Amino acid sequence: MHMRSANANLFAVLRAQFPDKQDATAIETDTDLHYRWRDLDRASAMVANLFADWELPEQARVLMQVDKSVEALVLYLACLRGGYVLVPLNTAYQAAEMAYFLNDAQPSVVVCSGANMGWLSKLAFTSGVHHVLTLNDDRTGTLLDRASQHADVQVPVQRQADDLAAILYTSGTTGRSKGAMLSHGNLTSNAQVLQGYWGWRSDDVLVHALPIFHVHGLFVAIHAALLGGSSMRWMSRFEPSAAIAWMAGATVFMGVPTLYVRMLAEHSLNREAIQTMRLFISGSAPLLTETFQAWQARTGHTILERYGMSETVMLTSNPEHTDTRHGGQSMRRDGTVGFPLPGVDLRVVDNQGQMLPAGQIGGIEVRGPSVFKGYWQMPDKTQEAFTSDAWFKTGDVGLQDEHGYVRIVGRSKDLIISGGFNVYPAEVESEINAFSGVAESAVVGAPHPDFGEVGVALVVPQAGAEVNLSALKAHVKSRLANFKIPKHWVMEPDLPRNAMGKVEKNRLRERYKVLFAS
Ligand code: AMP
């Protein structure tokens, strides 16, 4: 007898965990809308049925560039259940960038905001897209108008674990952005691991404050909540005082480091305001020690830092549980991104690809069920990204200490090679940041006729503080070998950051690339 294998469609996996009480609230928004579990199911069925009516090709891509809304989440769920491949894009992208994504992804459907319809539909039609729909953040637009004419039940299409679910374009601003192909199996396995690792419960309430065009807000946050049968409080955009106010009665928050910094600047942040909260998670960019400690002092909570990327979803995490052998102490370590998650193999290698012992800095390589299938239509880039024994080269540099905690030192392309010596910007930055009056800093490499490259330090003072540059330099010189000392220092009011709070070092490198030109 032939047994039909279980459906590996991620939507089917998520829906199986929706609570029995379908009329309970799944999502409450900051515009006071309440979505029941039943609503998420019905609305996504209608959109999937609309697309099915168009008989889109196998693995059709659905490109979405819209403001954050629950309906945008519904569109994602519709793609999953209908077997289409979602391509979510940052709303900041302009026409030239959109033309590239349209040509590269060759989507069958484009969903954009009404305000962008004019120029974007022209671009889309030129690149051969047949269906361009609008979706605004106030539940208007042609997507919902059309979908409303379709049935609100749909059986999720049969998918294998290996079938594509989404393409995430990497934020890499040097060279062409690459589309990371993630399968239903990649996303499902990671969601299930995180649900267990972070102790997700059905009575958890997640404050969802992140954008949903990125792995953090779209996959990590949403899958965990849906798979846990937990409800979400949905912020259309992050605003620090509103986020704090919304934590009353909530239990979990996920943010990039900048969100924590901004909340710390609010007087309303105190133990009482957040007394129902159990877990604060940070990732996507390094969390400064100063932020980690300030959060602990003000709230009594230890932020849990984790590490991952578009190509792999989540790879490592500090533990959720406490250390019972040591009187319930937190096991979350400042400056680390925790342990490899269950199922993830992680190794640190030198330039020749040889494995390094604990404590030594090298390139981080990983293997596991959440590692992506490759870059969309870039077989060469895919091949370059994997070793011959199928480990993915993350491009991050770091170490694993003798207790197993992983530390990220920086991106390999941010590494500075000065006079033949490796300089890890994170090490220099942490010495600079420790100096009184410094809020944060960035060290980038600039080409140099003698040394090949030297460091340029950008230093941001704390609000109202004066930083004495020569005293700062003397401090760093007393702490680090001479080849690590930046050769040029500048004070800056702030650092350029992208939407996920990452410092845009490529822009800084560009700015200083002719500084030492002979
Ligand atoms: P993205 O694909 O946009 O999510 O970017 C992934 C990159 O962000 C990783 O390769 C790391 O360089 C960086 N990243 C993510 N989480 C952390 C973290 N907790 N600490 C330091 N860097 C991180």
**For position 503, which CATH number holds?**
3.30.300.30
Confirm or reject: Cβ of 414 under 6 Å from ligand 1: no
Note whether 177 and 103 are within 8 A (CB): no
Q: Which helix (H) or strand (E) holds 298?
A: helix 289-299
pLDDT band at 173; cut points 50, 70, 90? very low
d(C-alpha 131, C-alpha 150), whole Å: 17
Confirm or reject: Cβ of 396 under 6 Å from ligand 1: yes
Q: Is the pLDDT of residue 336 over 90?
A: yes
Note whether 212 and 238 are within 8 A (CB): no
Note whether 51 and 82 are within 8 A (CB): yes
Q: Is the pLDDT of residue 174 over 60?
A: no
The confidence score (pLDDT) of residue 182 equals 98
**Shortest-distance atom of ligand 1 to CA 215:** 4
Contacts of residue 219, defined as CB under 8 A and 6 or more positions apart, other chains included, come to: 187, 190, 191, 313
Q: CA angle, 278 as apex, 371 and 203 as ends, to 5°?
A: 85
Mutate to test the pocket of ligand 1, among 440, 502, 506 (most ligand atoms within 8 A of CB): 502
How long a stretch of residues is the chain?
518
Among 69, 80, 61, 85, smallest CA distance to 15 is for 80
Calculate how far, in angstroms, residue 287's C-alpha sits from the geometric centre of ligand 1. 11
pLDDT digits (tens, 9 = 90+) for 33-44: 999 999 999 999
Among 344, 296, 299, 18, smallest CA distance to 197 is for 344
pLDDT digits (tens, 9 = 90+) for 117-127: 999 999 999 99
d(C-alpha 151, C-alpha 44), whole Å: 10
- In-domain check, residue 159: yes
Q: Which helix (H) or strand (E) holds 282?
A: strand 279-282
- The single-letter DSSP state of residue 114 is G
Give the count of beta carbons closer than 10 Å to the beta carbon of residue 363. 19
Mark residue 262 as left, alpha or beta (left: phi above 0; alpha: psi -120 to 50; beta: remaining).
alpha
- Residue linked to tokens 């945008």: 72
One domain for residues 46 and 179: yes
Confirm or reject: Cβ of 337 under 6 Å from ligand 1: yes
One domain for residues 491 and 375: no
- 150-187 in b/e form (b: 16+ CB < 10 A) is beeebebbebebebbbbbbbbbeeeeebbbbbbbbbbb
**Region 78-99 average pLDDT:** 94
Confirm or reject: Cβ of 513 under 6 Å from ligand 1: no
Looking at residue 167, which CATH number applies to its domain?
A: 3.40.50.12780
One domain for residues 501 and 356: no
The dihedrals phi and psi of 487, each to the nearest 5 degrees, come to -95, -10
Residues linked to residue 232 through DSSP beta bridges, in sequence order: 27, 206
**Shortest-distance atom of ligand 1 to CA 394:** 10
Among residues 393, 411, 429, the one where a domain terminates is 411
d(C-alpha 389, C-alpha 347), whole Å: 13
Among residues 380, 411, 442, the one where a domain terminates is 411
One domain for residues 406 and 444: no
Q: Which helix (H) or strand (E) holds 63?
A: strand 61-65
Q: Is the pLDDT of residue 392 over 70?
A: yes
- In-domain check, residue 320: no
**Shortest-distance atom of ligand 1 to CA 283:** 19
- In-domain check, residue 158: yes
Percent of the chain residues past pLDDT 70, beyond the cut: 98
Q: What is the DSSP string of 226-261?
A: HHHT-EEEE-SS--HHHHHHHTTT--EEEE-HHHHH
One domain for residues 454 and 481: yes
**Region 366-373 average pLDDT:** 98
One domain for residues 380 and 484: no
One domain for residues 434 and 346: no
Confirm or reject: Cβ of 171 under 6 Å from ligand 1: yes
Highest-scoring range by mean pLDDT, 170-179, 243-252, 255-264: 243-252
Note whether 418 and 453 are within 8 A (CB): yes
pLDDT digits (tens, 9 = 90+) for 186-195: 999 999 999 9
d(C-alpha 460, C-alpha 442), whole Å: 9
Q: CA angle, 393 as apex, 507 and 290 as ends, to 5°?
A: 55
**Shortest-distance atom of ligand 1 to CA 282:** 19
Containing domain of residue 405, as a range?
342-411
One domain for residues 182 and 44: yes
One domain for residues 362 and 504: no
- In-domain check, residue 394: yes
pLDDT digits (tens, 9 = 90+) for 183-242: 999 999 999 999 999 999 999 999 999 999 999 999 999 999 999 999 999 999 999 999
Mutate to test the pocket of ligand 1, among 309, 314, 333, 405 (most ligand atoms within 8 A of CB): 309
Tokens describing residue 258: 């900048």
pLDDT band at 66; cut points 50, 70, 90? very high
Give the count of beta carbons closer than 10 Å to the beta carbon of residue 488. 14
- Residue linked to tokens 């400042």: 334
Residue nearest atom 1 in ligand 1 by C-alpha distance: 309
The confidence score (pLDDT) of residue 4 equals 60
How many domains does one find in the chain? Answer: 3
**Shortest-distance atom of ligand 1 to CA 395:** 10
Looking at residue 373, which CATH number applies to its domain?
A: 2.30.38.10
Task: Report if pTM > 0.85.
Answer: yes
One domain for residues 398 and 463: no
- In-domain check, residue 128: yes
Measure Cα distances from 202 to 26, 173, 224, 320 in Å.
11, 39, 10, 16
What burial class does residue 32 get, using C-beta atoms within 10 Å of its C-beta: 0-12 exposed, 13-18 middle, 19+ buried?
exposed
One domain for residues 472 and 428: yes
Q: Is the pLDDT of residue 498 over 90?
A: no
Radius of gyration of the chain (CA): 23
The confidence score (pLDDT) of residue 3 equals 57
The confidence score (pLDDT) of residue 275 equals 97
- In-domain check, residue 458: yes
Tokens describing residue 368: 């596991």
Calculate how far, in angstroms, residue 309's C-alpha sits from the geometric centre of ligand 1. 5
The confidence score (pLDDT) of residue 451 equals 84
One domain for residues 50 and 130: yes
The confidence score (pLDDT) of residue 171 equals 66
- In-domain check, residue 372: yes
Calculate how far, in angstroms, residue 382's C-alpha sits from the geometric centre of ligand 1. 19
Q: Is beta strand 452-461 parallel, antiparallel or unpaired with respect to 488-491? A: parallel
pLDDT band at 359; cut points 50, 70, 90? very high
- In-domain check, residue 517: no
Mutate to test the pocket of ligand 1, among 408, 414, 424 (most ligand atoms within 8 A of CB): 408
Mark residue 142 as left, alpha or beta (left: phi above 0; alpha: psi -120 to 50; beta: remaining).
alpha
Measure Cα distances from 138 to 28, 32, 245 in Å.
14, 12, 23
Give me the chain's average pLDDT, please.
Answer: 94
Confirm or reject: Cβ of 310 under 6 Å from ligand 1: yes
d(C-alpha 448, C-alpha 455), whole Å: 9
Confirm or reject: Cβ of 74 under 6 Å from ligand 1: no
Calculate how far, in angstroms, residue 283's C-alpha sits from the geometric centre of ligand 1. 7
Among 500, 509, 517, 459, smallest CA distance to 170 is for 500
The confidence score (pLDDT) of residue 175 equals 59
pLDDT band at 443; cut points 50, 70, 90? very high
Residue nearest atom 4 in ligand 1 by C-alpha distance: 309
Q: Is 338 helix (H, G, I), strand (E, B) or coil?
A: coil
Give the count of beta carbons closer than 10 Å to the beta carbon of residue 61. 25
- Residue linked to tokens 């051969």: 128
Among residues 360, 382, 411, the one where a domain terminates is 411
